Structure formats: C-alpha cells, structure tokens
Structure 1
Amino acid sequence: MTEVLLRGVRVHHGFLDRARQEALVESLRGCLRQAPLFHPVTPRGKRMSVAMSAAGRFGWVTDRKGYRYEERHPDGMPWPEIPDDVLEIWNAVSGSARAPECCLINWYGDGAKMGLHQDRDEIDFSEPVVSISLGDEALFRVGNDTRGGKTESIWLRSGDVAVMGGEARLRYHGIDRIRHGSSSLLPQGGRINLTLRVVT
C-alpha cells in the first residue's frame, strides 16, 4: 500500500486487497437488493449519468426540490444498514470518533462522470468524507475551496481509499472519466464508489 497526498486529500492506494474487495461487493449487493439503484435528477431537471443508492440512517438525493439527505429511498423504503466491512474501513482511516450516518453508493457505467462539486450538505465540516473505489479505474480531479483555478488529477484504482478531511474537506472534486474494462472485479465492468459521511 502507498499513500499520496493530493491537495490535502489523502489517497491510500491498494488499501483493500482483492479478497476484501470481493467481499465488499457481495455486501453491497445485499444493500442494493433492499434499496435499488436509481438515476437522480438535478434541480434543473437533468438526469445524472451516475446511478445511486445508499445505506445508513440517511441517503443523499436530488430532484426538483433540491439537494438533500432523506431517511428513505425514493421508492419509500428505509435505507439498509451500513455493512460492517464498510464501517471497518471508516474506523481505520477517518480519524473520527463518530460513526458515519450515510454510505452513498455510486455506480459509474461506461461514459458516466461526476462534475466538480463540493460535499457541503452536511452540518459539521470538521468530519471527513471517506471514499472507497471498487472496479474500473477513475480519473479523480481535485480543485480549490472555490470554483475555478488550477486542479490536479490522479487515477483511482480498485481498492483505493481516499480521505477528504481538514483543509481538503471542502475542496471541489469530481470524476472526469472511467477507464472502462480496466478491472475484472465487476463481471460487466463499471465502477462502484462509496462515500461515507457524518450528516448531522
């Protein structure tokens, strides 16, 4: 395992070996059976290319009403509990005394991406955001605390874990593209990204 610091974002390359990645995917399949993936729509009515679900007390949603956390899936059911093997990762890298209240599950198929954005729908920005990458490689771009200016990028591989905390907590960040077929973890390719947050 190697560690890289990118504009304050701590990236742990190779944090999860193949066996732990496979076990994690199976845990997530259980979550998605209870709370299926859906494609959110932005407040402006644009369908996002990334499909989403969640586990924990809250899930993050967006629709015509705006960006927010909700305690139920858009179909009405409560979110499943965050799997223990996901919580183990949070406990190992977050440095937080609190447990995460949301595990956002993002699915990137071929051509999916995520524009530069801040994670600021939470209340306490002293708590970090922990990101777990599974499957195909993704080009992760990190900018500044405000829009504009220079950015830097790094390829995230399956099993990598990134921590956005401290000075990096409100950095603009996004996924520019996916290197489809770069991992054999998921049978049909694609990338799963988990982001763990303390919401309240």
Structure 2
Amino acid sequence: MARSSRSNDWGFPRWRGYGSSREAQSIRLCDRVGCDRAGNCPAPKSPNSPERWMFCEDHAAEYNRGWDYFAGLTAEEAAERESDERRDNSGYRESAHYGWAGPGDGSRSRDEMRALELLGLESDASFEDAKKAWRRIAKETHPDVNPGNADAAKAFQAGQAAYDVLRAAEDRREWKG
C-alpha cells in the first residue's frame, strides 16, 4: 500500500488547530557568547536606551544580579529619584490590596521589612515576635526610664513607629483573611 502524502490541512474542517503549521519558527538565541538556548528575556544595553540584549533565563538572572539602578548617584540623589518615582507611580498603589504589589519578601511590604529590621527580627518573624521585641525595646528606652536621654527617646519613637506599621499590617491581614 502506498503512503499518502496528503495534508490534513485541506478543506473544512481543519484537522489540526489553527496556529500549528509546518513552517519552522524563528527563535532568537541568547546574546550571551556560547549559549545556544532561546533568548526570550530582554535586558537594557544601557540606561535610557531602547536597545535590548535578549538573554535566556539563567543569563538574565546573572545580568540582573549585577544591575544597580542607583549606580553613580549620591545618597541624596538616590533618595530624590526614589521619591520622584514613588510620586509618579502612585496610581499603581491601588493594586496593593491584591497582595502581590509589595516589594518585600513576597508577603511583606518594604515598610514592614524595615520595621522588622529596626526591631532586630528576621523577615519571617511573626507578629507575636514583633510584639515581644517592641516590649523589650520599650522597657529599655522609655523616656520615663531614661529621663533627659535624647538617643533613648529617638530609639523609643522609632520602635513605636515600627510596631505601629507591623500592627496595621497585621490588622489588614486579619481583616482580609
């Protein structure tokens, strides 16, 4: 019996799905020298340039590890740029209630991470741990215990602010949960 060379793509209905064709598809290779994997992750060649490198996932991760957005800026310039971008991107803040918009460890916001750091806790600490750490700091730095000590008063105020941030976040989680 002779083998048929007839295509399944003739007439109606098509026997194969649309978009599945026999033509070879063009794949851009990773721009890293010696890599033969598909380059599907764009990376800027230079700041404010529309030109892009196309890397595979591993080489894109390597490239991003070395990227410093604030390179060459003083601390004041970096803070000014960050505040400008926060102001310009304030419209995206409304997505924070979906729980994926925060820049922390995936479950906490940047402010929460700073508050945990100020209380001397790890990023995976519970709210009860934060409460204990705040009580310990408050006992050591309370203005009634250290009258006239400006450093202790600043430390107390910073601890109070950190605890307030974590308490508000915990209240939001309980309300949402």
Structure with greater strand share of residues: 1
The structure with more helix, counted as a fraction of residues: 2
- Sort the TM-score into its range (normalised by shorter chain): under 0.3
Question: Higher RCO, 1 or 2 (CA under 8 Å, sep at least 6)?
Answer: 1
Which structure's CA Rg is the greater one?
2
TM-score w.r.t. length of structure 1: 0.22
